[in-house]
Structure 1
Amino acid sequence: MKKTKILMAAALLGIATFVAIAADHIDAPAVAGGTSDITDFYAFRGENTSNIVFVASVQGLLSPGNTAGASFDENVMLEINIDTDGDNVEDLVIQAIPRDGQMYFFGPTAPSQTGLNTNFSSTSTTNAGVVDITKYGESAIVKETGGMKFFAGPRDDPFFFDFNQYTAIINGEAGGFNSPGDDTFSGSNVLSVVVEVPKSMIGGSGTINTWVESKRKQ
């Protein structure tokens, strides 16, 4: 399990008025390149302003040409955690679980237990949906169920970062970033799950903390 690094600081702002972004593409050797490796997490107001969109991506730096080697791991669940009362403990979760070419979503629902260990919520929630995982070269498959929308599949990496210039700055070889700089992740893909949820399903005071975890079946 890994939480993305800057999310909690970003999530202290009101979800209705900002885009929360956390990114972590290049990890330590022990976890880099794994099927549970989280790259990005985004939370933002939907085009329908009564909705919130959550986007979680895994398996960064995928080559678009390596279509056979990029797939969701059926032993890994992505869990979006939502804290509605400011105590930094999840009050609601949305779980995404791949099976046989489809992504199953459960929630938002109250978790049976909080923290690192998690039980599947499939037996305890009426909020659920399933969508076919979009394959490389296909148009995006989006499914709408119960006021929620779902997507899962490969996407062009949306995160812009000039890693070489960053390294030069850290090493004292440069004084700042160039404009616009070089996009280190240009031409690479990630595997993304997207769920759009009515705010009425989230509740709370209007401000939430949110983070994502990847959890491997034990």
Structure 2
Amino acid sequence: MSHHYSGPDFGFPHGDARLDLTDLYAFPKPSEAHKSILIMNVHPSAVVNPRGPTTREPFAPAASYEFKIDTNGDAVADIAYRVRFSSSEVGAQTAILRRVEGAEAAGTGDGGQVIIEAAPVSTGRDARVTEAGGYRFFAGWRSDPFFFDTRGALDDLQFTGDDFFIDKDVCSIVLEMPNSALGPKRVGLWARTLHGAGGVWVQADRGALPAQAVFLVGSEREAYLAGEPANDARFIAVFAHALEHAGGYAPEEARRVAGTLLPDMLTYDPTRPASFPSNGRTLTDDAADAFLAVLTNGKVTGDKVGPHIDLLAEFPYLGPPHNISVPSHATSPIATELCKASRRPGSS
């Protein structure tokens, strides 16, 4: 299911839904090609595994949400955009956006040049947008744009076109920026969440390409989510083994294909049209179909589900949320099945 529910047994990283990274998107701004849109979605509204709590508070005040940008091809961040949020205990949440470069971008912390501050977080249908210095910023609940027949995946890839995400919400961070702020024209992107409640920043989740976590279980998944793209070569053997099992690849071919999935970065050239997996990712790109084709070695190429129709033509592009008041435990009727399938490659 893209990168949703990346914690143990389809729970949440560190047991906190607000730290769960679901998807990353990057595409040129429609009608203004000199600008780009980056979208990080976190905090799924529906709990698949009841052991992972969720909350009405959109973002974790003790967390940092980061867009990471590699400008020279070494899979190490040269630019980072960091977003922190206030607590909702004293009212509505607000956000502060900072930019860091160089060695600081590759590290952890909450310093950096302030780009936007006191940006209101949206909890209703209306999108509250903040603008400053050539940037536009949105954070809050939105309709989840990801589309996939999860039940069909659990039924031995017998798809019927039943979109599990059609009425689900996520918390979105949407950033519009001039292309010049990205660095050179071709960059590598990923997103991550960090938790700092204990006084030390600990990476909870990270990713760029959809569905990578399904190749990993147990300690391997934990190591992957806590790792960095620059070190992803160590997971090629694990990915290759899963591809041999799920797609019937020969060992050598499985390793080759695994190498195309790592490092876990989204390649993006803002001077070219976006289309996953070759360049960035738009909100209508069928990433699930692309993943299925790789996973099954071309035996299954689609799940009969298409893009959602509630997308907007203007910033922040994501449709309004379906459920304004998100329950503490929005359980799913297929939760038990998903938990049982959590150790089966290709089950999400």
TM over 0.5: yes
- Counterparts of 1:61 and 1:41 in 2: how far apart (Å)? 17
Identity rate, percent: 27
1:102 to 94, 110, 121: 94
- The offset of 1:57, in angstroms, is 1.2
Q: Which consecutive residues of structure 1, in runs of 5 or more, have no partner in the other structure? A: 1-21
Return the TM-score normalized by structure 2. 0.48
- The offset of 1:26, in angstroms, is 2.9
- Counterparts of 2:152 and 2:3 in 1: how far apart (Å)? 17
Would you say the 8 A contact 2:34–2:178 is kept in 1? Answer: yes
1:93 to 77, 80, 85: 80
CA distances 1:119-142 after superposition (whole Å, capped 9, x unpaired): 2223xx2544441001224x1011
Would you say the 8 A contact 1:129–1:145 is kept in 2? Answer: no
Would you say the 8 A contact 1:129–1:150 is kept in 2? Answer: no
Aligned to 1:79, what secondary structure does the other structure show? Answer: strand
- The offset of 1:188, in angstroms, is 1.4
Q: Does 1:75 align with 2:62?
A: yes
**Compared CA separation, residues 97 and 193, structure 1 to 2 (3 A):** same
- Counterparts of 1:31 and 1:134 in 2: how far apart (Å)? 23
Query: Which protein has the bigger helix share?
Result: 2
Pairwise CA RMSD of aligned residues?
Answer: 2.3
- Counterparts of 1:24 and 1:184 in 2: how far apart (Å)? 14
What residue is the counterpart of 2:22 in the other structure?
39
Q: Give 1 or 2 for the bigger CA radius of gyration.
A: 2
- Counterparts of 1:121 and 1:90 in 2: how far apart (Å)? 15
- Counterparts of 2:117 and 2:133 in 1: how far apart (Å)? 8
**Compared CA separation, residues 54 and 215, structure 1 to 2 (3 A):** same
Would you say the 8 A contact 1:23–1:41 is kept in 2? Answer: no
Instruction: Indicate the structure whose relative CO is greater, using CA pairs within 8 Å and at least 6 residues apart.
Output: 1
What residue is the counterpart of 2:191 in the other structure?
212
Q: Which runs of 4+ in 1 moved over 6 A?
A: none
1:120 to 94, 110, 126: 110
Query: Which protein has the bigger strand share?
Result: 1
- The offset of 1:108, in angstroms, is 5.6
- Counterparts of 1:121 and 1:111 in 2: how far apart (Å)? 12
- The offset of 1:62, in angstroms, is 3.9
Alignment of 1:14-33 (within 5 A): 23-27=2-6, 28-29=8-9, 31=12
**Compared CA separation, residues 111 and 130, structure 1 to 2 (3 A):** farther
Q: Which residue identity does 2:3 align to in structure 1?
A: D
**Compared CA separation, residues 153 and 126, structure 1 to 2 (3 A):** closer
Aligned to 1:50, what secondary structure does the other structure show? Answer: strand
What residue is the counterpart of 1:53 in the other structure?
37
What residue is the counterpart of 2:234 in the other structure?
none
Would you say the 8 A contact 2:116–2:131 is kept in 1? Answer: no
**Compared CA separation, residues 113 and 104, structure 1 to 2 (3 A):** closer
- Counterparts of 1:142 and 1:195 in 2: how far apart (Å)? 10
- The offset of 1:187, in angstroms, is 1.3
- The offset of 1:23, in angstroms, is 2.9
Q: Which residue identity does 1:208 align to in structure 2?
A: V
Return the TM-score normalized by structure 1. 0.75
- The offset of 1:207, in angstroms, is 0.8
Q: Which consecutive residues of structure 2, in runs of 5 or more, have no partner in the other structure? A: 48-53, 88-92, 201-348
- The offset of 1:43, in angstroms, is 1.0
